[in-house]
Structure 1
Amino acid sequence: MRRLPELRRVGYLWSLAHWAPLVLIALAAMFDVLTPGQQRYDRFLAAAPALAAATWSVRGIAGIGALTMATEVVLSLDRDADFVTATGTALLVIVTVTAAACYASHVRQSRERDLAELRAVADVAQSVLLRPLPPALGGVELNLLYDGAAAQARIGGDFYEALRTPFGVRLIVGDVQGKGLPAVEVASVLLGTFREAAYEAPDLAALVDRLETGMVRYSEQVPSSDAAERFATAVLVEIPPDGRTAGVLNCGHPAPLLLRGREVVTVEPSTDALPLNLRALLNDHHPVDTVPFGPGDRLVIFTDGVSEARDRAGSFYPLADRVRGWTGSGSARLLELLAADLREYGSGAADDVAVLIAGRPGPEALSTAAP
């Protein structure tokens, strides 16, 4: 969501830095020729190879160094300077700066290759941990918005999944307490357990029990991990293949929004439940709420990166009010509007953002799909 403008800005800055050495050579030569008297601008030429170290290859820097030296020689001949004393010293400085810049470029390129490999590993990890969702699953349309808080983040503490099971389509959207790799670790445990238990657990309450058990077992198997001390809020949804209802189980997570035509309803849990991995503290029971969910209805499930986004005055993002103005838009378009509005509203990236919209096709879509 925030990456596209940032990438454009980075591309502009890279282009500016890339051509800066050549621009510097041209400007230094022009001012040196046009300025009368003892003013000398050829002293700035030595900075050209140093600037090239930021973006140019070793060969490119060597070429810029050679061009800089040739320019220095031409300028010295134009002013009839002593080649040995004045020009010789200037050329020695340029050679020294060029050699240092070539070494700096070699180190930079080596680190860029290492970083590219790490990003490739992160992309593979994301494809396994946070897999792309299909546009439709078991008669349920799915649309997703996911964005990490950090500009280069591939995976954050927010997680999601959608599976077609014998009980219908089952969804989970959650947010792990904390950030960084420890939060990703807990998210991977919960997602792994969900992907296995979603096909077997008879209901959402039993599925939450399996998630709790998975966290306990992982903490016992990896005692060095701090997973036992972390918790995660989550919303689990079960959409049966036949029927006009959906089951919702909320584990301390922001309440989803139900869109029915132009109406926007907050799906508050009937009973407050603790987040995942805290149930043992109170031996809490997670209730399952049943909500109407017929053709054309949509559930908007989101993390607190949306609901707790603040503007510069410190006011929370009014998600329900914003969505009321977008109910006439399709789910994909709604997420585009939400992403753009969050960029304008927020004062900066504070948390990961995940929004999943699950909807039954409307009556017109059902009639079109019928034989």
Structure 2
Amino acid sequence: MSPATTGHALPEPHATAGLGDVVERQKLLRVRGRSVAWVPPLVLLAAIAVADYNTTGEFRIISWIVLVPGIAAALCGVWGTAVFAVLCMASYTLVDNAWPHQFQAGLPDFILVALGGVLATLACAVRVRGERRTLHMRDVTDTVRRTVLRPLPPGWGGLEHAGVYLTADAQARVGGDFYDIQPGPHGTRVLVGDVQGKGLGAVETAAVLLGTFREAGYHEADLGVVADRLESRMVRHRAYTTALGRADGDRFATAVLLAFPADEDDVVDAVVLGHEPPLAVGPSGVRRLPVAGGLPLGYRELAPGRPPVRRVRVDADETLLVVTDGVTEARDREGRFFKVVEAVREAVAADPRLMAPGLLVPAVRDRTLRHCHGRLADDTTVFAVRRGRGAGVERREGGRSPL
């Protein structure tokens, strides 16, 4: 699969699609944990020496030994490449002098082998420096991702949850989709959203909205006020980016706000802000929550006032599934959209265990990637949550948490 993925509470967290080439090569050239990168150039060196020794004098191939340091430069470290360069010069001298009075390739080819070894060592040094820089940049990107999408502990806020995030750009590893869970004295709040656009501007906006949610979701008793705070922060952030002269001053975001009240175990409060309504997945089937959609964050001037908060009854064994438009707008090669409701219904009917968040999320992820053949047009988030056992105790503990 080409998209890069991140996630939590899944059997394979931070899934495998976004790793750099250097890491993949290191994995491929290891046997039982030990590097075997030196084997291909050594085999080539031995093959050239043996072949030259067993051919007639009119057909000398010992100068081909100059290829060995080049192969080592692509696979080994700097010191390993230097060792092969020296070994090649020694092998050339030994083999070429096997016939001291005839068939010698001579000094010109020796200079070629020596020069090839030096250039290969220098090229290897450049390659290793580039790989180290790439790994450093990946570490920086992972730090940014963990800052925006912080890891969520199992059972956080009394909820059983799972989420996976796939970037359309396999090298970016972070984008404009976001999600979080915030326990507090008024229950546990969940936010899933998607910032319009891509790039660092979308990441910055997602971080701004998550910071606001983590504060307002903890302190505010009314979920509508939390939504209002998010709208206000979005408008202020747009004004800030416009003042900087940036071209993304009209950015907006869609979001779903969920609240699991501390005093009721069979209801969920929901606010939908220009987003697809959540799906409730349970033994009775798959249904969309009957939540009226409000405008996306950043468009409140078109409909002043707080968005409506809808209280919906949800069974204890129902899982709420929220996906971003990377799922709903995934297309196959014929241009047909992915039908997430039908896909989830078929998956759960085939295996009722998939109603659990930890199994439902990877099932939706895999079906989405199969539908679009691994080519996502947009960043994609799949997030599932339901009340866990002993939720009341964990919510009370979460209400005292400063996070």
* Candidates 339, 352, 365, aligned match of 1:339: 365
State TM-score, norm by structure 2.
0.80
**What is aligned with 1:27?**
47
Q: Secondary structure at the match of 2:219?
A: coil
- Deviation (angstroms), 1:299: 0.2
Which structure carries more relative contact order (alpha carbon 8 Å, separation 6+)? 2
In the alignment, is the contact (CA less than 8 A) between 1:18 and 1:54 conserved in 2?
Answer: no
Residues 60-108 of structure 1 show CA distances to partners (whole Å, capped at 9, x for unaligned) of 111011121122223323455769x733212211221221222222222
In structure 2, C-alpha distance between the alignment counterparts of 1:107 and 1:197, rounded to whole Å: 49
**What is aligned with 1:255?**
277
Q: What is the alpha-carbon root mean square deviation over aligned residues?
A: 2.9
Which sits farther off after the overlay, 10-19 or 178-187? 10-19
Residues 117-162 of structure 1 show CA distances to partners (whole Å, capped at 9, x for unaligned) of 3333323222222101122133321112223233333321110110
In structure 1, C-alpha distance between the alignment counterparts of 2:187 and 2:232, rounded to whole Å: 23
Q: Measured at CA, do residues 13 and 201 of structure 1 come closer, stay the same or move farther in structure 2, by a change above 3 Å? A: closer
Which sits farther off after the overlay, 111-120 or 160-169? 111-120
In structure 1, C-alpha distance between the alignment counterparts of 2:276 and 2:101, rounded to whole Å: 76
Q: Measured at CA, do residues 82 and 157 of structure 1 come closer, stay the same or move farther in structure 2, by a change above 3 Å? A: farther
Q: Secondary structure at the match of 2:75?
A: coil
| Residue identity in the other structure for 2:237 | Y
* Candidates 86, 98, 101, aligned match of 2:117: 98
Q: Secondary structure at the match of 2:330?
A: coil
* Candidates 189, 201, 207, aligned match of 1:170: 189
Identity of matched residues, %: 36
In structure 1, C-alpha distance between the alignment counterparts of 2:328 and 2:54, rounded to whole Å: 61
* Candidates 319, 322, 338, aligned match of 1:298: 319
State TM-score, norm by structure 1.
0.87
Q: Measured at CA, do residues 201 and 320 of structure 1 come closer, stay the same or move farther in structure 2, by a change above 3 Å? A: same
- Deviation (angstroms), 1:285: 5.1
**What is aligned with 1:217?**
236
**What is aligned with 2:262?**
241
Q: Measured at CA, do residues 265 and 22 of structure 1 come closer, stay the same or move farther in structure 2, by a change above 3 Å? A: same
Number of corresponding residues: 364
| Residue identity in the other structure for 2:370 | E
In the alignment, is the contact (CA less than 8 A) between 2:63 and 2:113 conserved in 1?
Answer: no
Residues 241-275 of structure 1 show CA distances to partners (whole Å, capped at 9, x for unaligned) of 232111111111122210121410022532x4221
* Candidates 183, 198, 208, aligned match of 1:179: 198
* Candidates 387, 390, 394, aligned match of 1:360: 387
Alignment of 1:317-328 (within 5 A): 317-324=338-345, 325-326=347-348, 327-328=352-353
In structure 2, C-alpha distance between the alignment counterparts of 1:277 and 1:162, rounded to whole Å: 22
**What is aligned with 2:80?**
60
In the alignment, is the contact (CA less than 8 A) between 1:304 and 1:353 conserved in 2?
Answer: yes
Structure 1: 5+ residue stretches without partners: none
